[in-house]
Every structure is written in C-alpha cells, then in structure tokens.
Amino acid sequence: MNHLTRNDYAGALALLASLTDQIAPGRSFGLQGVQALLEVVPAEFATLSECCLASGHRRVSGLPGFALSGADLESFDRHFYTHPLVGYHGVRRGQCVRRISDELSMNEFRRTALYADHYRRIGIDRVIALPLLSDGRMLVSFVMNRVGLDFSERERERLELLRPHLAHLYRIYGESSATPATRPGAEPVSNHAQPLPRTQQTAQLTPREAEVLQWIACGKTDADVAALLGLSPRTVQKHLEHIYLKLGVETRTAAVMRAYARTPGLH
C-alpha cells in the first residue's frame, strides 16, 4: 500500500535537486546525504556506513560532532555478521529500504547479543537502512537510528522513494573514495575471497565447496562463512568435511595450504 502524498513526492524532488547542487567531487557525500535524510525522516542520528564484507570493518561518517567511540565500533564489529540488516542487504542482496523490525520483532531483537552488546550501550533500539551499494564485497548504506517509536511505513516509503537516486549519486560522487574500512593501525584485509588455483584436486570441489574454502583462506570462521554465504554453520562444517576428504587432509589449515600450495604469498 502506498502511503505517500503529493507533498512527499514534491519534497523528494526538491531535496534531490538541492542535494545535487550541493554535492561536488571532493566534498563529503556522507555529510550532505545525512543532512538531507534527516530533513525527510527524523532520527536521533544518521550515518553513512561503508562496510567491507570480508573483514567486517566499517568506515562511519555523520554530522559534525557525531562520533561513536572505539568501544562502540568494536561492539558492533563483534556481531557484524549476525546483524539482521547486514544479512538482508549484504548477504541476501536485498535492495529495498529495511528496518530491523522487518526482520525481527522487538522482543526477538532485544534478546540478541547484538542488542545487548551494542545497541543497548548506545541507547538505540530502532534502526532503518537505505542501501546504496551491495556487490558481495562492499555494503554501503545510510543508516538511521532512533529510540522508542519505530520508523513508520510511510517513512520507509519516503526513504525508498529516494533510494535509487541516492545510489546513483553515490556512484558518481562517493564510490571513488570508498575503500574497505579498517581501524587506524589495522592491517589491510582483502575485501574479496581469493580464487582457488585450478589444480587436479581443487577441480574435484563443487562451486559451493570452493567458495567455502576461499573464505576460510581469508581467515573467516565457520560462523563468518555461514553469514557470508547464507548458510548454517553446520552446513559449512559439512562442506569442510567434504573438502578435507577430496583434498586428502584433516584440518582447515592443511586444506588451505594444499589448495594454495602453488600460489606465492598465501599460507
């Protein structure tokens, strides 16, 4: 059901025209976008979140004065792959604006480790995300955060009306500066799984088994791989058992070494 009014459509057009005039190469797309979205849908705070799906690290930008502490960022990163909106937009490649409440009831959400460890600490219990880019490597979204009253269906539709146009503007003005987000001092992490060398042994693996082994080679845990590929941890474990058998090894480390033995620099 469409809850939008003529004023909603007119307001969206005016906002996009104003935003296009303000954004220029070298200026902060995130800052301008956040300011524009807060004029459409009120929230405690909003951010542009650029997430590397391989490492789980993020670069987060918002209004001047906005800051999440290092502990806040770490508490989010600990539960990155179990976040319902990362699952919807990053893993399942959902394209529409989505609320956490579209994935979980409030009672279910409040029972999660993500809520207990992160959202409760920052005083937020309502979240909505507007995806700009999801290509299997990077997930880029505007994320709006609120306490108490959930985002309404009309507010979700207002954001959805803007979504394809904001995604287009991001490709023009924001994407060139998007890099996998890491904390200061962190080692660079590959933002995609390295392809398996084509050998007689790896040729025996199914496409799914190859994907699993590629992510294992990036240092992912069974739970990480499950989230990335939309599987259960138990299914990942079964794939690993088949990989061990086909490669003639008994551990994940040995499997990676056997598969990448001819590829310099991978251990």
DSSP-assigned beta bridge partners for residue 143: 47, 129
Q: Are residues 223 and 110 in the same domain?
A: no
CATH no. for residue 211? Answer: 1.10.10.10
In tens, the pLDDT along 185-230 reads 333 333 345 566 667 777 888 988 888 888 887 767 888 788 778 8
pTM: 0.66
Supply 163's token pair. Answer: 């979504």
Domain that holds residue 74: 6-177
In tens, the pLDDT along 114-144 reads 999 999 989 999 999 999 999 888 899 999 9
| CA distance linking residue 67 with residue 31, whole number of Å | 13
Smallest CA-to-CA distance from 211 within 199, 189, 228 is with 228
In tens, the pLDDT along 26-78 reads 557 888 899 899 999 999 999 999 988 877 777 888 776 666 777 887 888 88
Q: Are residues 70 and 118 in the same domain?
A: yes
CATH no. for residue 162? Answer: 3.30.450.40
DSSP-assigned beta bridge partners for residue 99: 128
DSSP letter, residue 126? E
